[in-house]
Amino acid sequence: MRVAIANDHAATELKFQVKEYLESKGYEVINFGTDTGDSCNYPEFGEAVGKAVVSGEADKGVLICGTGVGISIAANKVKGVRAVVCSEPVTARLSKMHNDSNIVAFGARIVGFETAKAILDAFFDTEYEGGRHQRRIDMIYEIEERQ
């Protein structure tokens, strides 16, 4: 499992904790930055991880900003991305089961490392159910094609 990860300046410390955690679980982590606390712009980081996932460079993505919102909105502009913002693990689990989410996002100003780990475990340990959900995923693809 290759995981693309990125963050803005609000989340650098949590990103490194998360990176180490994912590596301890055996995942290969591709870090797209930022690696400092210097002010930067979350859209570029959301786009980078979105493109890495859609291109197949990575299997899944993790995005962290202050709230998880801005960086996930940016990632969701990349065709084929289904990024979900979570502040608890149930949403992460259900978004994999029903929405086939391919990027999980959360906020460093919203969740601590323990909750982040629970969200990551739910996201990575859950499979997409397919079946009746695929028709709705296909409808999302159709929206993208109409843009």
Annotated active-site positions, please?
A: 65, 98
Record the tokens describing residue 67, joined without a space: 């709230």
Q: Which of 69, 94, 97, 118 binds ligand RB5 (CB under 6 A)?
A: 69
Q: Is 71 within 8 Å of 45 (Cβ atoms)? A: yes
Judged by CB under 6 A, the stretch of 49-57, 59-67, 95-103, 139-147 that binds ligand RB5 is: 59-67
Q: In the complex with ligand RB5, which residue's Cβ is closer, 5 or 93?
A: 5
CB of 74 to ligand RB5, least distance (A): 9
Q: Is 45 within 8 Å of 7 (Cβ atoms)? A: yes
CB neighbours of residue 140 within 10 Å: 12
Record the tokens describing residue 89, joined without a space: 């693990």
Instruction: Report the alpha-carbon distance of residue 16 to residue 110 in Å, rounded.
Output: 17
- Decide: is 70 part of the binding site for ligand RB5 (CB under 6 A): yes
CB of 96 to ligand RB5, least distance (A): 23
Q: In the complex with ligand RB5, which residue's Cβ is closer, 42 or 123?
A: 42
Q: Is 49 within 8 Å of 4 (Cβ atoms)? A: yes
CB of 108 to ligand RB5, least distance (A): 8
Half-sphere exposure of 50 toward its Cβ, with a 13 Å CA cutoff? 21
- Decide: is 106 part of the binding site for ligand RB5 (CB under 6 A): no
Place of tokens 């909105």: 73
Half-sphere exposure of 100 toward its Cβ, with a 13 Å CA cutoff? 16
Map the footprint of ligand RB5 across residues 5-44, applying CB under 6 A: 8, 10, 42
Q: In the complex with ligand RB5, which residue's Cβ is closer, 11 or 27?
A: 11
Residues that bind ligand RB5 (CB under 6 A): 8, 10, 42, 65-67, 69-70
